[in-house]
Chain A
Amino acid sequence: MGTVDWSRALTEMTLAFHILFATVGVGVPLFISLAEWLGIRKKDRHYSLMARRWARGFVITVAVGVVTGTCIGLQLSLLWPEFMRLAGHIVSLPLFLETFAFFFEAIFLGIYLYTWDRYSNPYLHWLLTLPVMIGSSGSALFITTVNAFMNTPQGFAVREGKLTDIDPLAAMFNPATPSKVLHVLFSAYLTVAFLLGMIAAFSMLRGRKDEYYRKSLRLNMTAAAILAVATIGIGDMSAQFLAKEQPEKLAAAEWHFDTGERASLIVGGRLNPVTQEIAGALEIPWALSLLATHSLDGTVVGLNDFPRKDWPPLYVHYLFDAMVGIGFYLLAVPILFLALLIIKRWNAYNRFVLACALAGGPLALLAIELGWFYAEVGRQPWIIRGYLRVSDAATTNSHVNLAFWLFAGLYAVLGVVCLFVLARLFRNQPAELELETRRIIL
Chain B
Amino acid sequence: MAIEQLGIAVLWSFLYGYLIVASIDFGAGFYAYYGRISGVETVIAPVISRYLSPVWEVTNVFLVFFFVGIVGFFPETAHYYGTALLIPGSIALLLLAVRGSFYAFANYGVNKNSFYLLAYGATGLLIPAALSTVFTISEGGFLTVRGNDVFLLMEELFYSTYSWAVVLLALSSVLFISSTFLTYYAARANDPKALEQMRRFALWGGVPTIISSLFVFIALRNHNLEHFQRTLDVWWLFGLSLVSFIIAIWFIWNRRSYGTAFVMVLLQFAFAFYGYGISHMPYLLYPYLTLYGGVTNPVMGRALVIAFVAGFALLVPSLVLLLKMFLFNARYVKGDLA
Contact = CB atoms under 8 A, between A and B. Distances in A.
B97 A70 contact: yes
Interface of B is mostly: helix
Contacts of B77: 77
Contacts of B98: 410, 413
A110 B58 contact: yes
Interface stretch (A61-69, A192-200, A347-355): A61-69
Contacts, number: 217
Contacts of A84: 71, 75, 78, 82
A417 B111 CA distance: 13
B110 interface: yes
A159 B44 CA distance: 62
A306 interface: no
Contact of B103 (A63, A74, A99): A63
B318 interface: yes
Task: Specify which of B65, B75, B84, B321 lies most central, judged by the most chain A CB atoms within 10 Å of its CB.
Answer: B75
Given A62-B57, A417-B105, A163 B64 contact: no
B108 interface: yes
A407 B90 contact: yes
A59 interface: yes
Nearest to B78: A84
B299 A410 contact: no
Interface of A is mostly: helix
Interface string A386-416: 0000000001110110110011001001100
B49 to A, nearest CB: 11
A62 B85 CA distance: 27
A169 B307 CA distance: 12
Contacts of B325: 111, 114-115
B55 A167 contact: no
B336 to A, nearest CB: 11
B19 to A, nearest CB: 17
A80 B71 CA distance: 12
Given A74-B89, A93-B307, A102 B61 contact: yes
Contacts of A166: 297, 299-300
B82 A395 contact: yes
A431 to B, nearest CB: 17
B110 A118 contact: no
- Contact size range, A: 35 or more
B312 to A, nearest CB: 9
Contacts of B304: 92-93, 96
A82 interface: yes
Given A89-B75, A168-B299, A403-B90, A97 B307 contact: yes
B260 interface: no
B64 A102 contact: yes
Contacts of A62: 57, 104
B69 interface: yes
Contacts of B53: 110, 114
Interface string A109-142: 1110111111000000000000100000000000
A78 B94 contact: no
Interface residues of B, number: 69
A437 interface: no
Contacts of A79: 82, 86
A430 to B, nearest CB: 14
Contact of A82 (B79, B96, B297): B79
A98 B304 CA distance: 12
Interface in A41-81: 56, 59-60, 62-64, 66-71, 73-75, 77-81
A108 interface: yes
B319 interface: yes
Contact of A104 (B69, B100, B314): B314
A92 B54 contact: no
A110 B54 contact: yes
A106 interface: yes
B87 interface: yes
A67 B57 contact: no
Task: Specify which of A84, A97, A99 lies most central, judged by the most chain B CB atoms within 10 Å of its CB.
Answer: A99
Contacts of A111: 54, 321-322, 325
A103 B61 CA distance: 6
Contacts of A291: none
Contacts of A95: 68, 71-72
Task: Specify which of B54, B90, B91 lies most central, judged by the most chain A CB atoms within 10 Å of its CB.
Answer: B90
Contact of B300 (A59, A80, A90, A399): A90
A66 to B, nearest CB: 6
A229 to B, nearest CB: 34
Given A81-B79, A107-B318, 16 more contacts: A60-B104, A66-B60, A67-B60, A73-B68, A78-B82, A81-B78, A85-B76, A89-B297, A89-B300, A93-B300, A96-B308, A106-B57, A110-B53, A410-B97, A410-B98, A421-B109
18 contacts: A70-B60, A70-B96, A70-B100, A71-B93, A80-B82, A85-B75, A92-B68, A92-B296, A97-B307, A103-B315, A104-B314, A111-B325, A113-B54, A115-B325, A396-B83, A402-B90, A403-B90, A407-B90
